[in-house]
Amino acid sequence: MLVSWNWLTQYVALDMNREELENRLAMSGLNHEGTESVFDDLAIDLEVTSNRPDCLGHIGVAREIAVLYDLPISFPNPNPTAAGPPADSEFTVTIETPELCPRYTARIIRGVKIGESPQWMQDQLRTVFLPVSRDWKPVNNIVDITNYVLMECGQPLHAFDLAKLQGQQIKIREAADGEEFEAIDHHVYKLSPGMCVIADANRPVAIAGIMGGADSEVGDDTVDILIESAAFSSMATRSTSRALNLHSPSSYRFERALDPEGIEWAANRACELILEHGGGTLDEGLIDVGATNWKPEPVVMRLSQIERILGISISVEEVKRILLALGNTENSSDKSSITITPPTWRRDLMREADLLEEIARIHGYEKIPEDVGVPMAASFKSDWDRIAAKLRTTMTAVGFDESLTASVVPNAWTQTYSPWSDKAPLRTISPMLKGADALRTSLVPSLLEVRRINQSLANPDVELFETAKIYLPQEQGLPREQWTLGITSGQSFYHLKGVIETILSSLKVNGRFTIESTEQDLLHTDYSASLRLNGEHFGFIGEVDAAGLKTFSLRSPASIAEIRMDLLVQNSTLIPQHSQLSSFPAITRDLNIVVAESVRWDALETSVLSAMDADILEDITYQETYRDPERDGTDMKRVLFTVKLRRNDQTMTNEEADKVREKIVSAIESQLDGKLLG
């Protein structure tokens, strides 16, 4: 935000040193970016944060200076004289999209004379516009006045040539799909639904909050004008501006929450200046359609919090002076608290902490000693934080690197792999990244893209993981946000299964982890599975098939896994537990089972677990699979595995181990139609 030194002196006395003022503004939140001489004036560049749109005009900056230096301030009180007929007698305004434009006002001036704006106005506009655009020139008295009021109070205005508005009406509506519009920059823009336009009876005459049209702009032959002052949706303005790549001083301000009380003030100020420097007759009244329903809510500030939070004592008188000088209204006060209502131009003042910050920055951060004692309470890590930290340690220990990818991805990726939901993802009409317009429903496509990039840079052996949210669409409302762990590896299905088992072991997860075969898009039919933890759906694992490798332009095999973080948090043991080790030896038994080819290892493992006491079974280890069609028949296989048995109260005998083996074989025979190979 560029402000003119000479312009500021119209509202507040600048008797202080320039460098001192720049430093004081910077310390109070308006960071000083630089100062440039423009003829006999100074253009001071201040960084205005997004929560302070009130400082996007000279009045707002002057108000800050007056508060910082405890100076009187003087603002114009416009009251233009209206001598014409009622403004709404022949002209109408209709809002068809109140969600895009909650309020629209218009004033009509007839019989103006187009000419040059006064020299003092040109000089002040030149100071704030010339450093930005070296070819800037004043336009005419009407356009210059709308720009002057914009830079004075921060409320954008627009002047239409009334004769060029067809049908004696204005309609604020949504743009039609493919509708074309020629702006005053003489570029033609193709509009789409969701964009707000100002239209007459037949065509758009402005893109709401951004730029007017070439067909209705004020020119040398203009006689009657209509002054627009309105409130537009900040989200709609921002998305439209980005979608069209069309930005202006007006859009910059409408993208922020402006002062609703400034709408009428700005219109009156512009009309007063136009009557003074362009003549004409102002129609009686303001065409005012819609309403801005937002009103500031009272905020209670406890006086005891000043010293507790800031670490210094500030007198009640000084506290009240600061709050009232900032435009707040005192509702009530007592020995312990003050209740105030913020001004309409300060939507950012909503909590007690906001008022404390205002007191600190105006009183002066430099007045707070560096060694001041501020009461502090020890923080603690949440279960989520502890699980995430342990998870990162485990993943890096087994050779993986952590990745960080964007939450918004190309829509095609959500169609390629979306195992958690088959519903369409939430999409945006103004992508922050080119081509990325959908909230991701899986981490896998993003990780595979990172894998592709690494392979293209001669780094083929990349093992990656990421913990982040995915956004699963619901029948109604916003998507469900699910914290998820995504993994991609160049190793096999079984290697990645071992990584997941290592994670569960590291986090000491309580419960049973099982794998069920399933078919999924992108994954190989024989190496694709659904994961379950204590019977709940836990995630997915698999090897990317040939088509998937081609889709993501991968040069070598890849496997993927995705699991729910919330189940890890629910079932992990965060407090170390002591477990007495058995002092008795273990006994192992090897089993060579003949089963049908269709029987998966997880089914065989489940059958073993169902046959015996969990306190005796210490481990099940898969060894190998053999196939001998001549001896066992077609579609049959031999699965060799080992069970490790141990008792905690005494040494297990061979007879006891043999009985356990018999129970296992009996369960496999009855459940899977398998048999023990002798």
553 and 492 in one domain? yes
Closest listed residue to residue 212, CA positions, set 168, 257, 164: 164
Residues 6 or more apart whose Cβ sits within 8 Å of residue 29? 49, 52, 361
User: What is residue 94's predicted lDDT score, i.e. its pLDDT?
Assistant: 97
User: Is residue 163 domain-shared with residue 232, that is, in the same domain?
Assistant: yes
Query: Among 10-19, 517-526, 555-564, whose mean pLDDT is lowest?
Result: 517-526
Kindly tell me the burial class for residue 441, based on how many C-beta atoms sit within 10 Å of its own C-beta (0-12, 13-18, 19 or more): buried
User: Is the same domain home to 559 and 601?
Assistant: no
pLDDT tens digits for 88-121?
Answer: 999 999 999 999 999 999 999 999 999 999 999 9
Q: Which of 258, 79, 29, 264 is nearest to 154 (CA)?
A: 258
Looking up residue 536, the CATH number of its domain turns out to be 3.30.930.10
In a domain, 74, yes or no: no
Q: Which residue has the tokens 């302070």?
A: 52
| Amino acid present at 579 | S
In the DSSP assignment, the letter for residue 497 is H
Count up the domains in the chain and report the number: 5
The 3-state DSSP class for residue 256 equals: coil
- Whether 490 is in a domain gets the answer yes
In tens, the pLDDT along 312-368 reads 899 999 999 999 999 999 999 999 999 999 999 999 999 999 999 999 999 998 888
In a domain, residue 75? The reply is no
| In a shared domain, residues 277 and 321 | no
CB proximity list for 185: less than 8 A, separation 6 or greater: 211
Residue at 353 is within a domain = yes
Q: Could you say which of 541, 571, 601 is where a domain stops?
A: 571
124 in any annotated domain: yes
Q: For residues 289 and 104, is the Cβ–Cβ distance under 8 A?
A: yes
| pLDDT tens readout for residues 205-223 | 999 999 999 999 999 999 9
Query: What pLDDT sits at residue 606?
Result: 86
- Name the more confident of 369 and 266: 266
Any idea what the CATH number is for the domain that residue 62 is in? 3.30.56.10
Query: Which domain CATH number covers 158?
Result: 3.50.40.10
Q: Are 283 and 338 part of one and the same domain?
A: no
Dist. CA 430–CA 434, nearest whole Å:
9
Q: Band of the pLDDT at 375, cuts 50, 70, 90?
A: low
Give the number of other Cβ atoms within 10 Å of residue 1's Cβ: 20
Does residue 374 register a pLDDT over 70? no
Residue 207's CB: how many other CB atoms inside 10 A? Answer: 27
pLDDT of residue 118: 96
Domain membership of residue 140 (yes or no) is yes
226-245 CB burial, b ≥16 within 10 A, e <16: bbbbbbbbbebbbbbbbbbe
Average pLDDT score over residue span 381-386:
88
Say if strands 92-95 and 169-174 run parallel, antiparallel, or are unpaired: parallel
581 within a domain of the structure (yes/no): no
User: DSSP letters of 425-442?
Assistant: PPB-SS-SBTTB-EE-S-
Reading the block at residue 86, the tokens are 């009622």
Structure confidence at residue 429 (pLDDT)? 75
pLDDT in tens, 233-286: 999 999 999 999 999 999 999 999 899 999 999 999 999 999 999 999 999 999
- Residues 577 and 482: their CA atoms lie apart, in Å, by 29
DSSP letters, 595-657, are: EETT--HHHHHHHHHHTS-TTTEEEEEEEEEE--HHHH-TTEEEEEEEEEE--SSSPPPHHHH
- Cα–Cα distance between 215 and 426 in angstroms, integer? 37
Same domain assignment for residues 460 and 527 = yes
Return d(Cα 446, Cα 425) in angstroms, integer. Answer: 15
Q: Are residue 39 and residue 174 in the same domain, yes or no? A: no
Q: Which two tokens stand for residue 631?
A: 């001896």
Q: Which domain, by its residues, includes 344?
A: 299-367
User: Is pLDDT above 90 for 610?
Assistant: no
Say if residue 303 is in the same domain as residue 279. Answer: no
Q: Of 258, 290, 322, which one is at a domain's C-terminal end?
A: 290
pLDDT tops 70 at residue 444: yes
Rounded to whole angstroms, the Cα distance separating 500 from 71 reads 67
At 373 the pLDDT is 66
pTM here? 0.67
10 Å CB burial of residue 373 (0-12, 13-18, 19+) is: exposed
The per-residue pLDDT for 346 is 95
CATH number, domain of 628, equals 3.30.70.380
User: Pick from 237, 258, 290: which residue ends a domain?
Assistant: 290
User: Same domain for 208 and 171?
Assistant: yes
Q: Tell me if 615 sits within 8 A of 646, measured CB to CB.
A: no
Beta carbons within 8 Å of 430's beta carbon, 6+ residues apart: 238, 239, 240, 242, 243
Task: Determine the Cα–Cα distance for residues 613 and 611; give it in Å rounded to an integer.
Answer: 7
Do residues 519 and 546 both lie within one domain? yes
Position 582 in a domain: no
Residue 438 and residue 349 share a domain: no
If asked whether residues 401 and 549 sit together in one domain, one would say yes
- 3-class SS letters over 640-669: EEEEEECCCCCCCCHHHHHHHHHHHHHHHH
